[in-house]
Structure 1
């Protein structure tokens, strides 16, 4: 596992790296300056990012949104105290764990585990949502294609679907792809 730690204080960075290496076998890289954060994080392509900062700014969270690109890796942010409405902004930027009261070495492993678990859960939900949206769009196209066939050939819905399915099998294509081609062709002819 590759971990990137964003920590400006050198002594704290050393303590964090030591704590991480004590709890898990991994490669740890420290970024000591948060300017151009997205580029620096991307250069290491980490499995998780730990950010320890006293008071996160909106600019830093925008950089983080770019760095999490969007939401391609878990990010745990440790802040020293409540930062107004920035917790919500941090979560929207892709932070998987937002921990107030700073980064304590003995809490690193449980927070990392939680951030990774939450990230995986959110990613699974996003993938399921994308798949559901794709299936719904395909269903809409198939329904439009069936309607075109029913009107053009004077057949019922079951016969229209059977024709789409037979054409798809004959051409070695998926039914939604054949339906899309029919709807597109109809649009060009209409």
Structure 2
């Protein structure tokens, strides 16, 4: 079951998209006609993808997409009537997956949706990898500090201090980082 949120202030555009999306197999199609409603509906319904006009009343599409993407990792495709380099730059910063020019043609919609899903998955995987690397670096820093403290306080060589920490970690069934943090608190 696939779901989509269509956000456009023009009912004709929403109806046309809705028909095309049904043909593409989307079961749940939610609609909103302004940026505020788009944010509320997205956070309430959690659609698989969002297709949103850039220019909408109450809150423009970029602002709405920014608010949505802070809480949901859902791909967003922008609809636009004209190409403005500034809008494109703002959209890139938000992580918008694709642009479609109005009026949307059915033969352009499916590839844009597929690319949006692929782009979103790739970006989210990269973010996870970055977070994992940051955590690894932080763990390394703590371990190195604790190792240095053991070397200084117990006159151990670097390999001896590291082996001592490894042995404690195995004996206590803790991670090396947990042992290092404990050493920093007690030494």
TM-score, structure 2 as length reference: 0.89
Match of 2:65 in 1: 64
* Pairwise CA distance, 1:35: 2.4
Task: Answer yes or no: is the 8 Å Cα contact 1:15–1:105 preserved in 2.
Answer: no
CA distance in 1, matches of 2:142, 2:94: 34
Residue 26 of structure 1 aligns to a residue in which SS?
strand
Conserved? CA contact 1:90–1:98, under 8 Å: no
Q: State the shift of 1:104 in Å.
A: 2.5
Aligned-residue Cα RMSD (Å) equals 2.1
Q: Residue deviations 1:93-128, cap 9 Å, x none?
A: 231113345532331111000011001111111111
Task: Determine if contact 1:55/1:83 at 8 Å carries over to the other structure.
Answer: no
Look up the match of 2:173: 172
2:6 and 2:32 in contact (8 A); partners too: yes
What pairs with 1:11-160 in structure 2 (closer than 5 Å)?
A: 11-54=12-55, 59-69=60-70, 72-160=73-161
Specify every segment of 5 or more residues in structure 2 that has no aligned partner in the other structure, as ranges.
none
- Superposition deviation, residue 74 in structure 1: 0.6
2:35 aligns to what SS in structure 1? coil
SS of the residue 2:82 aligns to: coil
TM-fit CA distance, 1:24: 2.2
Q: Equivalences for 1:175-186 in 2 at 5 Å?
A: 175-186=176-187
TM-score (norm 1): 0.88
Corresponding residue SS for 2:70: coil
Task: Sort the Cα spacing of 1:140 and 1:168 in 2 relative to 1 into closer, same or farther, 3 A.
Answer: same
Give the distance between the partners of 1:105 and 1:24, measured in 2 at CA: 13
Which whole-Å CA distance do the structure 2 matches of 1:58 and 1:14 have between them? 21
* 1:28 Cα offset (Å): 1.1
Rounded to whole Å, the distance in 2 between the matches of 1:7 and 1:42 is: 17
Distance 1:95 1:65, change over 3 A: same
Q: Which runs of 5+ in 1 are unaligned?
A: none
Conserved in 2, the CA contact under 8 Å of 1:55 and 1:81? no
Q: In structure 1, what is the Cα distance between the partners aligned to 2:116 and 2:65?
A: 15
